[in-house]
Amino acid sequence: MKKSKGIKYVTKKGGVFWPSDAMKEIANMSDPKIYDKAEKNPVKFWGELAKGGLTWEKEWDETYEEKLPYFKWFKGGELNFCVNCLDRYLDKPKAIAMIWVPEPTNEKPIKITYGELYDKVNKFANVLKQNGIKKGDVVSIYLPMIPQALTAMLACTRIGAIHSVVFSAFSADALKARIQDGKAKILITADGYYRQGKKEPLLKKAKVAARKTTIKKIIVVNRIGGKVRGGKFLDFDTEIEKANSYCKPEIMKSEDTMFLLYTSGTTGKPKGIVHDTGGYATQAYWTCKWNFDLHRGDVMWCTADIGWITGHTYAMYGPLLTGATTLIYEGGPVFPNPGRWWKIIQDNEVNVFYTAPTAIRMFMGGDKKWISKYDLSSLKILGTVGEPIDKESWMWYFNKIGGGRCPLIDTWWQTETGGTLINTLPGIGPFVPTVSGTSFPGTRHAIVNERGGAVPKGDSGFLVQQSPFAPGMLHGIFNNHKKYVDTYWKKFKTMYDTSDGAYLQNGLIRITGRTDDVMKVAGHRLSTAEVENAIHDNWHVKDCAVVPMPDKIKGQVPIAFVVLKWRKSSEKLEKKLKKHVDIKIGPTARPKRIFFVEDLPKTRSGKIMRRILKALLINEKPEGLMTLVNPNSVEKIKEVVSARS
Ligand code: WT7
């Protein structure tokens, strides 16, 4: 598709937005009948999609096998993921696979062709092999948004190694826990990266994390001029230069594990979400085709970091699976000024832009001139993800960034689902502010009550997924069957529990947010229990509860309530506790405030009533005081909170 600019891709009808004829014309999917067709036989439907979208070495024997709580897609089928991203696009080796935009403005963006990426990935795959990595081994990747991250991830998939990417802003402790859980043999990291004009060191954290673990070698990308030598350390580029240029792809079973990605649940320990190969690839491919309408040559910019699932599926893999171009940007959104993102869109003619509501809210508060300065007419589709988006932010994004021309899709999904699941398709519509929309063709969701029965239309309830479960869905929690069952299958047995609330608005699904103790802080998923555990490490802390508080930009921020043993509270101690959260998890999890209180509201069985704390923070009248053993605590906490607000 070549790029006519500024086309109107939406039209307004009945108060909502629909795809215009121009959109329907170019869209990979514009037939509303697709939903019914898929619904008749979802398994057959996905079988056809898997065949049509991917290159298989061997066809499967059984399209779908369900033995709850587990299920398998394309059983017996064989393929290599890397071949699907690279080898099959070598008919046009000069097409651009990736545009990398470094943060420092004196460094030029780099365009990497499919041919060049293929070469690097093959070589790096050989480097991994020479260092003893075999099919099924876990490789930890702790890298910033630099091209080597993609090379490393793809190289793992080429040889059938399982990658486990850890967000570079996470702490050494967080990385160590993930290395240990996966028993990784190799750690791939960088000396550092640029963020908001500063050099951010990374290797120091990586070294601490790798100490006394299964890590045998640390492969380091030189990004900020640091040198590594000898011992455990290898230099990424030097090793690539020495390596052979072809690595035979390892043929994998469709249901073989491709990667682990750790995410927060309601307990203090992050869980390793297991994703397979063929099912994940199928959903990544088709959601890119139909949601983001990717064609070969289109440029997609998903602003998510590779440390999160959105970065895996839409900043890295999805665009390549479809032969498109992915843009990745190393640095901060407002460096050197608030026009940076919009300049990147203009200069690189980005067609599809996918970001989080928290970023939109941040830009809304800024000066308009930083946007109007730039030509954004290359844009075709906008997307949002990660948390509910309010109407004002939706309209601002649609009008100011999309020029009122582009479909804006609000995609609901999770680390566990691998790819998007609920949103309207740009070629079909409608695009309604704050509403995610419909289940992706071939998937089924319902809104149910506590017992799993359907709620009356329009009422709020629990969002569940029904059989057959989408191909991109998780295949368990790494080495933890019990947690997998307890988290996703205990409540509704035959339906997957998303832990989100939702209701239907004119037949479309509107997500209301988490129903468990998971917070979304600037789109990042964190559990209150993880932060509580970190605070509990301090010897002076007797009791502690962390709850999310609404925040204008970040959506939610963690607030801690701490009871001390006998020491007096002080600013020094507050700082120390915050610092300790940085060390245990990372700065994203740092409580915005710590309230020192005498007691926490508890039930007779000792359960902390976080709901009451939440209500106090937003000045609402707390309910359920009758069930407390210490109702007096609430009045006192209220005083502490209002004294500091
Ligand atoms: C949770 C999953 C994979 C997407 C990135 C986050 C919330 C996600 C939406 C949306 C409202 C959303 C849910 C979900 N969420 N997308 N469009 N509207 N809420 O993945 O870190 O695993 O978080 O993000 O609460 O359960 P994640």
pLDDT digits (tens, 9 = 90+) for 223-259: 999 888 788 999 999 999 999 999 999 999 999 999 9
- Tens digit of each residue's pLDDT (9 = 90 or more) over 492-532: 999 999 999 999 999 999 999 999 889 999 999 999 999 99
* Model confidence pTM above 0.85: yes
What residue type is 639 in one-letter code? E
Is 514 a pocket residue for ligand 1 (Cβ < 6 Å)?
yes
* Pocket residue to mutate for ligand 1, from 308, 313, 384, 385, most atoms within 8 A of Cβ: 385
Contact 596, 564 (CB under 8 A): yes
Q: Rounded CA gap, 313 and 286, in Å?
A: 11
Rounded Cα distance between 422 and 444, Å, is: 9
For residue 525 and ligand 1, the question of a CB distance below 6 A is answered with yes
Whether the per-residue pLDDT at 4 is higher than 70: the answer is no
pLDDT band with cut points at 50, 70 and 90 for residue 3: low
Ligand 1 centroid distance, CA of 414 (Å): 5
pLDDT (0 to 100) of residue 229: 77
The CB of 287 under 6 Å from ligand 1? The reply is no
Lookup result for tokens 């309209």: 395
pLDDT at residue 569 in the model: 83
Lookup: tokens for 413: 């999904």
Cβ–ligand 1 contact at 424 (below 6 Å)? no
The Cα 501–Cα 510 span in angstroms is 9
CA distances from 440 to 295, 420, 437, 470, 472 (A): 19, 8, 9, 9, 12
Q: What pLDDT, on a 0 to 100 scale, did the predictor assign at position 269?
A: 85
Q: What is the Å distance from ligand 1's center to 261 Cα? A: 15
Q: What is the reported pLDDT for 574?
A: 95
Residues 6+ positions from 229 with CB-CB distance below 8 Å: none
Q: Which residues touch 622 (CB under 8 Å, ≥6 apart)? A: 601, 611, 612, 615, 616, 634
Average pLDDT for 9-32: 96
Q: Mention every residue, 6+ apart, whose C-beta is less than 8 A from residue 414.
A: 309, 498
pLDDT-based confidence at 1, cuts 50/70/90? Answer: very low
Rounded to the nearest angstrom, the distance between the alpha carbon of 309 and the centre of ligand 1 is: 10
Of ligand 1's listed atoms, the one at least distance from the Cα of 499 is 26
CA proximity to 148, closest of 84, 277, 234: 234
User: What residue owns the CA closest to ligand 1's atom 2?
Assistant: 414
The predicted-structure confidence for 369-382, as pLDDT tens digits, reads as follows 999 999 999 999 99
Q: What is the best residue among 408, 412, 435, 509 to mutate for testing ligand 1's pocket, by most ligand atoms within 8 Å of CB? A: 412
Task: Evaluate: CB of 297 within 6 angstroms of ligand 1.
Answer: no
Compute the distance between CA of residue 257 and CA of residue 536 in angstroms, rounded to an integer.
35
Quick one: which of 279, 249, 278, 17 has its CA closest to 126?
A: 249
Q: Is ligand 1 within 6 A of the CB of residue 310?
A: yes
Across the range 341-367, mean pLDDT stands at 96
Mean pLDDT of the chain: 96
The distance of Cα 182 from the centroid of its chain, to the nearest Å, equals 20
CB of 349 sitting under 6 A from ligand 1: no
Q: Is the pLDDT of residue 622 over 70?
A: yes
Helices (H), 160-228: 172-182, 203-210
Mean pLDDT calculated for residue range 69-94: 98
DSSP letter string over 108-146? PPEEEEHHHHHHHHHHHHHHHHHTT--TT-EEEEE--SS
Please report the atom of ligand 1 found closest to the CA of residue 388: 11
Q: Would you say the CB of residue 263 lies under 6 angstroms from ligand 1?
A: yes
How many angstroms is it from 171 CA to the middle of ligand 1?
Answer: 23
Record the tokens describing residue 435, joined without a space: 């509403």
Residue 411, ligand 1, Cβ within 6 A: yes
Q: In a mutational test of the pocket of ligand 1, which residue from 312, 394, 525, 530 has the highest number of ligand atoms less than 8 Å from its CB?
A: 525
Residue 474 makes CB contacts below 8 A (sequence gap 6+) with 273, 274, 275, 415, 416, 417, 418, 484
Residue ranges of domains in the chain, CATH in brackets: 114-250 (3.40.50.980), 522-643 (3.30.300.30)
**Confidence class for position 267, pLDDT limits 50, 70, 90:** confident
- pLDDT above 90 covers what percent of the chain? 92
> Is 436 near ligand 1, meaning CB less than 6 Å away?
yes
Residue of 310, 316, 315, 276 lying closest to 472 (CA atoms): 276
Whether 386 lines ligand 1, by a CB cut-off of 6 Å, is yes
For residue 426, the SS3 value is coil
> What is the reported pLDDT for 13?
93
Q: Is 511 in the pocket of ligand 1 (CB under 6 A)?
A: yes
